[in-house]
Amino acid sequence: MLREKIGNTALHKHTELSARYGVNIFIKEEYHNPGKSAKDRVALFMMEEAIKQNRLPKGGTFVEASSGNTGISVAMIAKEMGYKSKIFVSQSCSQEKIEVLESYGAEVVVCENSNGLHDFQSTQYLAQAYAANTEDAYFTNQYYNSSNIRAHYKTTGPEIWNQTAGKVSHVLIGMGTGGTISGVGRYLKEMNPSIKVFGVEPNNSVYQHFLIQQKLPEMEVKFDSIEGIGRTFIPGSFDVNTVDRVFQVSLEASKEMAHEFALEFNQLLGYSSAAVLAALDKHIGAMDLKPTDNLVLLFPDYGDRYLEKLYKDFYWISKAKVARKDATIQ
Ligand code: PMP
Query: What percent of the chain stands above pLDDT 90?
Result: 88
DSSP for residue 239: -
* pLDDT at res. 146: 98
**What's the gap in Å between 300 CA and the centre of ligand 1?**
7
Nearest alpha carbon to residue 90 among 65, 116, 61, 70: 65
ipTM: 0.99
**What's the gap in Å between 322 CA and the centre of ligand 1?**
33
Residues 6+ apart with CB under 8 A from 266: none
Evaluate: CB of 64 within 6 angstroms of ligand 1.
Answer: no
Q: List pLDDT tens digits, range 103-161.
A: 999 999 999 988 888 899 999 999 999 999 999 999 999 999 999 999 999 999 999 99
Q: List pLDDT tens digits, range 54-64.
A: 999 999 999 99
Contact 173, 167 (CB under 8 A): no
Nearest alpha carbon to residue 148 among 25, 235, 207: 235
**What's the gap in Å between 330 CA and the centre of ligand 1?**
43
**Of the residues 124, 249, 272, 306, which should be mutated to test ligand 1's pocket, given the most ligand atoms within 8 Å of the CB?**
272
Evaluate: CB of 176 within 6 angstroms of ligand 1.
Answer: yes
pLDDT, mean over the chain: 95
* pLDDT at res. 322: 66
In 3-state terms, what secondary structure has residue 297?
A: strand
User: Which position has the higher pLDDT, 306 or 327?
Assistant: 306
**What's the gap in Å between 324 CA and the centre of ligand 1?**
33
Contact 201, 229 (CB under 8 A): yes
Evaluate: CB of 228 within 6 angstroms of ligand 1.
Answer: yes
* Alpha-helical regions (H) of the chain: 2-5, 15-21, 39-52, 69-81, 95-103, 123-132, 146-151, 157-163, 179-191, 207-213, 251-265, 271-287, 307-310, 315-329
**Of the residues 28, 74, 123, 180, which should be mutated to test ligand 1's pocket, given the most ligand atoms within 8 Å of the CB?**
180
**CB atoms < 10 A from the CB of 18, how many?**
16
Contact 88, 109 (CB under 8 A): yes
Residue nearest to atom 10 of ligand 1 (CA): 228
Q: List pLDDT tens digits, range 5-32.
A: 999 999 999 999 999 999 999 999 999 9
Residue nearest to atom 12 of ligand 1 (CA): 176
* pLDDT at res. 133: 98
Residue nearest to atom 4 of ligand 1 (CA): 228
Evaluate: CB of 270 within 6 angstroms of ligand 1.
Answer: yes
Q: State how far the Cα of 222 lies from the Cα of 239, in Å rounded to an integer.
A: 22
Evaluate: CB of 179 within 6 angstroms of ligand 1.
Answer: yes
**Position 312 confidence tier, pLDDT thresholds 50, 70, 90:** confident
* pLDDT at res. 313: 81
Residues 6+ apart with CB under 8 A from 315: none
* pLDDT at res. 1: 85
DSSP element (H, E) containing 246? strand 245-249
